[in-house]
Amino acid sequence: MSQEDNNVEVAGGDDDIVDPWNVQSKSETGIDYDKLINKFGCQRISDELIARIERVIGKKAHALLKRGVFFSHRDLEFILDRKEKGQPFYLYTGRGPSSESMHLGHLIPFIFTKNDLTIEKSMELAKENAKDIIACGFDINKTFIFSNFRYIGQSPEFYQNIQLVAKNVTFNQAKGCFGFKEGDSIGKIHFPSIEAAPSFSGSFPFIFNGKKDIPCLIPCAIDQDPFFRMTRDVAPRVGLHKPALIHSVFFPALQGAQSKMSASDETSAIFLTDTQEQIKDKINKYAFSGGRATAMEQREFGANCEIDVSYQYLKFFYHDEEKLEVMRQDYTSGKMLTGELKAVLIKELQEMVADIQKRRAVVDDALVEQFMTPRPLQYSF
Amino acid sequence: MSQEDNNVEVAGGDDDIVDPWNVQSKSETGIDYDKLINKFGCQRISDELIARIERVIGKKAHALLKRGVFFSHRDLEFILDRKEKGQPFYLYTGRGPSSESMHLGHLIPFIFTKNDLTIEKSMELAKENAKDIIACGFDINKTFIFSNFRYIGQSPEFYQNIQLVAKNVTFNQAKGCFGFKEGDSIGKIHFPSIEAAPSFSGSFPFIFNGKKDIPCLIPCAIDQDPFFRMTRDVAPRVGLHKPALIHSVFFPALQGAQSKMSASDETSAIFLTDTQEQIKDKINKYAFSGGRATAMEQREFGANCEIDVSYQYLKFFYHDEEKLEVMRQDYTSGKMLTGELKAVLIKELQEMVADIQKRRAVVDDALVEQFMTPRPLQYSF
């Protein structure tokens, strides 16, 4: 459908399957991201680009960029150009992973949404999810949390943007992007216009202190790219900014990249509600190891970090750049054992989850209401 | 898609084309309604049914029923059963023709909506249209007027019903009902769920004084039937009442059943804004005559009422049942001339339009707001 982007056949042959509803790899190292970038037609985040980001923001780039968790983008240079000139932009992200908060928790409701929920259940979950997000430490003056269901009833502008997109995307184009089948519901077929619409929130002024035409940067896992590829195609046709994108890799299940996290399988993931003891037990019992079968073999041959879930989790969450690199080398060479690496991860996750639980305990319904009320945000553009 | 209803191929061969976006006949007498009833799988409104209606309501049936303007239905017996038992139901109709008000005006915005309007223009027109409807004399205590765009922002329940329908209709089913093509926008493909949703307003209690599960009766022109055929199919799957339907024939353009009313063609229709002089001129100049070329021929052979637009208009609007029948006989026999029949129509329309214009002049924005605010209606169920 697009001139700039490749059309994507979402499944086929020996390729990984990556679309907003399925992520599936046949390789134990997980998705081949280089192949995916090529297929999707987006850009690798290069060392040069990270260096430019650091020049523009005047400090070190976010750890998730340096570690390659966010690895790909669309139009990030355009956002950097604006940042350099002091021009505003805004971030939009969903229940999937976001660059400013943790993956561990965000992935759980994301998995949830793939299920066949009732509307009531969805709205309940949305509220619980909002509490998790707030517990991550978002600034209420700069953050508007919305659920699609509620926001539509709160802002006619939002629904107008949905219909603007829906009117300008044909079934054929949506099919090309998402691989829709004729047996899919017309709700599912229409959904991309709902996911697309907040990319154009910068077109109506009430949130941004009367400012209009503010472009959007979207951090998301790469499986969400098709929505925004479509959005970017529509944008110029309706006279609006294309959203820029920054893509993350996927967060693996405890059992490894080929396995799936599932809310119905307690052992597949660390939940934000897990106790300190549960975190320890799950990592020790279930986190797939890239190390050797015995300590002796590990000392001699070393581990494969690419498939080691504990190392992958540390890449997402560990607080210290240099120590992480030392651990990678020591674990790869065999100087470090799986049990030792797991101990580091357990401590890190226990602290992080305890912090979130502490903050979440004081998030009440009134605060959720405040976050979820459309209002001017406190940006000084 | 349906077990009870026939699948409809909306175009083909020498058949009339009737779907929500096209009404086209190759015959000068217009659409073959018997064929259409057969094709759509709905029921003819029989003399027996009209007699039952009169027994149930304890008075004469509405003139539009007796004259065959409303000629077909689905489940009207079910509504009559409820009426007999003193159980409630409600009416839902759109900008198309409705049994309780006039076609002349209602058809104009209906034609409008087929054009490619901007969202702003649509919302403006919705307001103007609401003023026309109010000017027809609807009771504010029993009538809620809504525009889809606004209502979605006013009531989460409405949007929830839209998504409930959208989730339960596949593209294939919608295609079977509406003849969608792959080049149609995902907005158009999703639209049937928006038109369907108010059929289920009886499922949430805020409008009906806390009462739930109130079934709906929909008066509409028969081209809107596919929307509600789909709606009726979805209803039992989501545990809600099927809406009952009562179908009207089409209101012809001044030039006849094969021609189209168009807002861009002044001469194709009588507008509610027309002056007394314009009404007279338009009927005299443009109303297609089923009479003979000369008065002498007319006296000898008589007119064909089936294709005579003035007679058709009288059938929609004339106030007196017996006099209408006398005119039909006299015009058919040749006793009455086209000019005489047109004079009767002109007087009738001039009075009716003057009345509406007088009432419309005092409809202000505040009254429109009142009609368009979701609120409990004053029904004593």
SS (H, E, C) A262-329: CCCCHHHCCCCCCCHHHHHHHHHHHCCCCCCCCHHHHHHHCCCCCCCHHHHHHHHHCCCHHHHHHHHH
Q: How far is CA A312 from CA A29, A246, A249, A305, B17, in A?
A: 11, 20, 11, 7, 61
Chain A contacts of B186, Cβ < 8 Å? 166, 169-171, 174, 189-190, 192-193
Scan residues 183-222 of B and list those with Cβ closer than 8 Å to A.
183-190, 192-193
Residue A343 tokens, joined: 């101990």
Q: What are the strands, taking DSSP E only, across B58-165? A: 70-74, 90-91
Name the most confidently modeled range: A18-22, B108-112, B299-303: B299-303
Residue B102 tokens, joined: 């006039």
Burial of A218 (0-12, 13-18, 19+ CB in 10 A): buried
State what percent of residues in chain B have pLDDT above 70: 84
The torsion angle over the Cα atoms of residues B341, B345, B348 and B351, rounded to 10 degrees, is -130
Give the model's pLDDT for residue B53. Answer: 93
Q: Which DSSP string do the residues of A102-122 spell out, in sequence order? A: -HHHHHHHHHHTTS---HHHH
Give the model's pLDDT for residue B102. Answer: 36
* Residues, chain A: 381
Residue B87 tokens, joined: 């159980």
What is chain B's mean pLDDT, rounded? 82
Of A290-299, B140-149, B183-192, give the lowest mean pLDDT range. B140-149
Give the model's pLDDT for residue B113. Answer: 35
- Where on the phi/psi map is residue A212: left (φ > 0), alpha (ψ -120 to 50), or beta? beta
Residue A311 tokens, joined: 């190392």
Beta strands A90-91 and A216-221 are parallel
State what percent of residues in chain A have pLDDT above 90: 40
- For B50-69, the pLDDT digits (tens) are 999 999 989 988 878 888 88
Question: Does the beta carbon of A177 lie under 8 angstroms from any beta carbon of chain B?
Answer: no
Which residues of chain A are modeled with pLDDT < 70?
A: 1-14, 20-21, 23, 94-119, 204-206, 209-210, 260-264, 379-381
Q: How far is B183 from chain A (nearest CA, A)?
A: 5
φ/ψ of residue A92, rounded to 5: -135, 125
Give the model's pLDDT for residue A15. Answer: 74
- For B254-293, the pLDDT digits (tens) are 998 777 666 667 788 888 888 999 999 999 999 999 999 9
Q: Which DSSP string do the residues of B157-226 spell out, in sequence order? A: HHHHHHHHHHHT-BHHHHHHHH---TTSBHHHHHHHHHHHGGGGGGGSTTTTTT-----EEEEEEGGGHH
Please compute the mean of the pLDDT values over residues B23-41 and round it to a whole number.
81
Give the model's pLDDT for residue B94. Answer: 66
Give the model's pLDDT for residue B116. Answer: 53
φ/ψ of residue A119, rounded to 5: -65, -40
- Mutation for A interface: B186, B188, B204, most A CBs within 10 A: B186
Closest-CA residue of B relative to A194 is B187
Distance from the Cα of residue A34 to its chain's centroid = 18
Assign B97 a pLDDT band (cuts: 50, 70, 90). very low
Residue B46 tokens, joined: 């029989």
Give the model's pLDDT for residue A108. Answer: 36
CB contact under 8 A, A171 and B150: no
The torsion angle over the Cα atoms of residues A238, A241, A243 and A244, rounded to 10 degrees, is 140
State what percent of residues in chain B have pLDDT above 90: 39
Q: Which helix (H) or strand (E) holds B248?
A: strand B244-248
Least CB–CB distance from B153: residue in A119, A159, A166: A159
Give the model's pLDDT for residue A205. Answer: 60
Closest-CA residue of B relative to A1 is B183
Question: Does the beta carbon of A32 lie under 8 angstroms from any beta carbon of chain B?
Answer: no
Please compute the mean of the pLDDT values over residues B168-182 and round it to a whole number.
91
Assign B246 a pLDDT band (cuts: 50, 70, 90). confident
pLDDT at B13 over 90: no
Say what the ipTM of the complex is. 0.73
* Contact in structure between B78 and B245 (CB atoms under 8 Å): no
Residue B18 tokens, joined: 């009737």
Q: What are the strands, taking DSSP E only, across chain A? A: 17-19, 22-24, 43-44, 70-74, 90-91, 216-221, 244-248
- For B194-217, the pLDDT digits (tens) are 989 999 887 666 677 667 778 888
Q: Which domains does chain A have, with CATH numbers?
A: 17-100+138-251 (3.40.50.620), 266-361 (1.10.240.10)
